[in-house]
Every structure is written in structure tokens, then in C-alpha cells.
A and B are shown apart, each in its own frame.
Chain A
Amino acid sequence: MADGLTGPRGPKPRRSFSAPNIFLYGTLIVVACYYALPLYVMITTSLKTMDEIRAGNIFSVPREFTIEPWIKAWSTACTGINCDGLSRGFWNSVRILIPSVILSISIASVNGYALANWKYKGAEFFFAVLMLGAFIPYQVMLYPIVLVLRNVGDFLGFQLYGTLGGLVIVHTIFGMPILTLLFRNYFSSLPEELFKAARVDGAGFWGIFFQIMLPMALPIFVVAMILQVTGIWNDFLFGVIYTKPDIYPMTVQLNNIVNSVQGVKEYNVNMAATLLTGLVPLTIYFISGKLFVRGIAAGAVKG
């Protein structure tokens, strides 16, 4: 060295193939394989013909690719009395999903904002009751809700029980505790002085919500959307109870295809149907990236 310094200097050199690294990455690779293998089996099986599947050897790559099972799962597989595949269920699920997500997030965001910023009388009590709701198992409330939907429907003069509208209401109500908690915590984390400044500037309840809070709350809206889309899309229980065969959501139809006890088990069609059903949440996971992790962390409260 020109400056006459000897011994270690600058950044410490690091070896890529050190023992801790080999152990760390080795473990990661093994675990990744373990989790990726079922997905690999599902995808390859869904692209094989039944003859090939019967030959055994589930890990082999398909000898002749066929997308026939996918087409069958989507448009001609029999689900109970209908034989038009999952397409019917897909559109039912979309019709359930969109209004449920919009409705529940709209109401919960206002709830959370009011609870965080406008400390009205009884706010704490209201919040405590709402949180209590989050800890009661859904199963306990199944039958009471059937009665409520039927009676309220009778009272209002149109059918709620057994309709998509009724299911949307159920999803909206059950999403309320966790979503309200999510929004309340987020709005509480925004600086209080911002809210005060807006009040001094003469903005009211809705003025502050739409002009100040909403533009700052985009991340939490995305998190809430991820939670709701995956939750509602994957729901099976409410779908099977509060609707009827014509309007079953995709998950219920999938179950009817896969668990059918009549005829030959078409494993390739079953795999394709399962992958098709999981496609919506999967797409959401992939496009939302980092925000999804936050959604999981927030959802961890739910248990």
C-alpha cells in the first residue's frame, strides 16, 4: 500500500461457500422443494391424460400434453345437477366478491376513521363489542343468521336467504371486526396534529375523511382488499349455507366436482379445477407483493 498501512483494511472479505451459508441455503432449497412439489404434481397431473395417470408414476413429466382436463373443468364437468363446469361458479363468486369487498371496505374505513379520530361518547364500548364479535366462532352464528336473513327478508318483502344479496350482507358483517380494527389502527398511527389542523381549517367529518385521510390511506386499502378478496373467494361455509345450487360460489362447485362419488375419479380434471379456483387469490398474491406480507401480518390478529 502506498500509505504504508499493513494488516486488514477496508471491508472484510466474505466467502460465498462458508459452512453457515451452505447450511442456510441448503435448508432453504430443501424446504422450498418440499413445498413446491405438490404444486408440481398438481400442474403435471392436470396436463396428463387419464391413461397416463393410471400408469402410476405421479412425478413424471406428461408424455403428451393435453389441456383437455382444463377445458372440461371449466365448461363441462358435472357439479351436482348442472354440467357446465366451474364457469358458472366462477361468475357467481365474482358477483359475490365485488359488492362484498366494496361494501365492507367502505363501511369499515369510515368506522375506523370515526373510532380513531372522533372520540365520541361510547366509542370505546362500541369498539369493544365489535372486537368481541371477532372472537366468536362463525359456526355458532350459522343458524341464527339463517333465521335473521329469512325474517328480515320477509319483513322487507323480498328474499334474502338463499340469494347472492343475502350472502353479500353476511360477508360484509363478518368482515367488519377485523377490517375496522385494521383501519382504526392505521388512522390512529397518522399524526393527530394533521387532524387538528384540518379542523382549524374548517373541514368537517366527511371533508377530513375524503380530502385528508383517504389520500393517505391507500396502502391500508390495498391490505384490506387483499384480506377480503382472499377471504371471501376462499369461503366455503357461508357459500354453501346461504345460497342454493344455482348460485353456488366456485369453492362449493369445486367441492362437488372433486368429492363426487359417482363414476370414475378424473384426477386430471380435479387438479385443473382446483388450480382454476385458486387462480384468483394467487393472482392477488403475485401482483400485490410486499403489501401482501403486511396483509398477512395484519391478518395474524385474526388468528
Chain B
Amino acid sequence: MTHSVQIKNLDLSFGAIKVLRNLNLDIGEGEFLVLLGSSGCGKSTLLNCIAGLLEPTDGQIWIKGQNVTWEEPSKRGIGMVFQSYALYPQMTVEGNLAFGLKNARVPKAEIAKRIARAAEMLQIAPLLQRKPGALSGGQRQRVAIGRALVRDVDVFLFDEPLSNLDAKLRADLRVEIKRLHEQLQNTMIYVTHDQIEAMTLADRIAIMKGGHIMQLGTPDEIYNLPQNLYVADFIGSPSMNFIQGHLEKGVFHKGDLRLPLTGYAFAAPQTADRPATIGIRPEHIVTGELVGNAPVQAGVTVDLVEPMGSDTLVWATLAGQPFRIRMDGQARVRNRDPLTIGIDPARASLFDTQTEARV
């Protein structure tokens, strides 16, 4: 796989605050990479560095085998889509699309051709003569994507492009971005704090925290094999249940609860006993008839029920602490009902309580 974008030993500080610390990242040709993290984790800062809108304190950025660390944003072969659309309000849609090309002195005929192509791909042809003020949020974001599209660039940068849209439009446009990637096969780097967007769009996800990449992997790896407590807690909605206990001879103990970890894929052969935290996803807990097939069973009492239509979230107490269980939307449970649950420790994630790394 050839590299499209490479970030080498990147540092960025604002005064005494280090936003990015010695960050390294290789992004393959045609890859869809999502930078995911809560606000303030440095994901947008990293994107701005790649775009050339922020100067790094140290390190290099390579795009298509060229060291572009000192290049102007317009000379890097990138197109960028912003959260607030950032359309030029006094220009028509057509003017917005043409602005970058005019600056690059592209011939008029070529400009017209590229605008026509982008307008067709994004279904904005009827809007070309309108001003951005006369467009809806979804239409504006399409135009913003179009503005990146006409530049015929190698790398697309998206800075939370769907965050300003309502839920339904967000889902629609998400699919469209995915379709666009299938069609163009460009490298795309996409910043978001929405894990659904990350999971559905990404070839690989980089989860960031405090200027570091906590884990880089496919959505499947991130979901099933989180490498540390932070990633395990961050991914998944409702989030993972954590129980702090002890790992002894391949069995997890916490009070009366014993979870034999037969079938669990340890990261390294285990010898020492140690304090450990086990993470169990609410959706991996079975109830009803399926309990018999689960390696471990436990009886709990329902504390609270949150019906959500497609499924029902049940709060119970296990090993002395609150515990979330996701049940079918048709499940009829009430507060204080007794419930038998089945747990499969092989699907759980085990972390060292001290280092927070996967065991």
C-alpha cells in the first residue's frame, strides 16, 4: 500500500499547552481514515496541520511522497470541508465552486466542465445560481463538498462536516459521503466526535486523546478488541460495563462473581495474578432462553428500565455496582423484576487496572 499522507513526529504547542505530542500516522492511498475523539483531543488541530492552516512546532507532513510541511494550503493537493460550511455568502453557489479554480488560473472552459461534473454528482445543479443564504443546511454542506470536489485533489479533509445538521439529514449525508468515497477512491481524512459516523464510514479509525492516538485500527478491531480502557469506554453506546476485580489463574474474581476466561484471547501468555478490570458490552449479555447457552449465568434485579423503541436498556446491579444490559425492544421488564443473565467472558475485554492496557 502506498502512502498518501504521512505524519512524522508531529508536535504542536500553543504556548505552554501541548496539543499534539510526537504524533506519527501513515494513511494509505484511497483510505478513509476517521479521527475520533472527544472535544479538545487534538483531532481538529491535527487536521488543520495537515491542511496547512496551522504551523506545527516540530515534525513533518508528507502528502503523496512530497514534504509539504512548509507549503501553502492551496499547494498541498487538499480540499477541505468545514463544520460551518464556510461558504462565501456574497457569491452564488457557482461562484463558490469556481473561486478556488479562478485563483489557480484554471481556464474558463475547464472550470465550467468541473462545476458541471460536481453539480451532477452532488445533485446541486438546480442551485448553482442561488446564494448560500437561500439554501438549507444539507444543501449548503453539499456545496461545501462540491467546493472540495472541483479542485480535483488527492486528499479530502472533513472537519466535523455533519455536526451542524439534524439527525435525519446527518444520516442521509453520511451515506452520500460513503458513496462518494466508493466512487472517487480518494484519500479521505474525516474528523468527528460521533462514533456512529466513525464506525460506518471508516476504513480505519484513529481514536485520539490528549494529543495522542490511543488506538488505530479497523472499526471491527476498535469495537471488539479495544487496546485500552479509554477506547473501550469511548466506543459503544450504551457504553461498556466495567467491573474492577482480580485475575487469578485465568479466572476473574469480584466478590461472589467468578468469570472463567476460557476461550478469551489473551494479548500475551498470562502468568502473574494481578488486579484487573473486565469490560462487558451491554449488547453481549443474553437474557431469556439464550441464558442456558452462556458459559456464565448470574441472577440480578432490575433497577431501572429505559425503553428506546428498537431496544430496551435495563439497569441492574452486578457484583455490587450498576450494570447495563441491552435487551430486545419488545422485552417487557419492570423495576424490581428478577432477571437471569448470561455472560460469555470470551467476548469481554480484560484490562490491567494499573496500566489500563488490554490483557
Contacts and interface: CB of A to CB of B under 8 A. Distances in A.
A203 interface: yes
A197 interface: yes
A198 interface: yes
Interface string A99-129: 0000000000000000000000000000000
A203 B151 CA distance: 14
A147 to B, nearest CB: 42
Nearest to B105: A202
Interface string B83-127: 111111110000000011001100000000000000000000000
Given A200-B73, A202-B74, A194 B88 contact: yes
Contact of A199 (B53, B83, B88, B159): B53
Contacts of B90: 215-216
B103 A200 contact: no
B205 interface: no
B17 to A, nearest CB: 16
B201 to A, nearest CB: 21
A196 B74 contact: no
A199 B86 contact: no
A196 B159 CA distance: 12
A191 to B, nearest CB: 6
A200 B78 contact: yes
Contacts of A199: 52-53, 72-74
Given A201-B74, A201-B147, A212-B88, A196 B80 contact: yes
A86 to B, nearest CB: 42
Contacts of B159: 193
B268 to A, nearest CB: 45
B79 interface: yes
A207 interface: yes
A194 B86 contact: yes
B79 A200 contact: yes
A200 B84 contact: no
Contacts of B79: 200
Contacts of A212: 88
Chain A interface size, as a band, is 10 to 19
Contacts, number: 60
A194 B88 CA distance: 7
B51 A200 contact: yes
Interface in A10-40: none
A201 B86 CA distance: 12
A193 B83 CA distance: 8
Interface in B133-160: 147, 151, 159
Q: Which of B51, B52, B78, B89 has the most CB of A within 10 A?
A: B89
B82 interface: yes
Contacts of B73: 196, 199-200, 202
Contacts of B86: 191, 193-194, 196-197
Contact of A200 (B74, B85, B87, B89): B74
Contact of B89 (A196, A211, A216): A216
A8 B63 CA distance: 71
A281 B100 CA distance: 43
Contact of A193 (B82, B103, B147): B82
A200 B80 contact: yes
A43 B207 CA distance: 75
A199 B51 CA distance: 10
Nearest to B51: A200
Nearest to A212: B88
A197 B83 contact: no
Given A200-B73, A200-B78, A212-B88, 18 more contacts: A191-B86, A193-B83, A194-B86, A194-B88, A196-B73, A196-B82, A197-B80, A198-B99, A199-B73, A201-B74, A201-B103, A202-B75, A202-B103, A202-B104, A203-B99, A211-B88, A211-B99, A215-B90
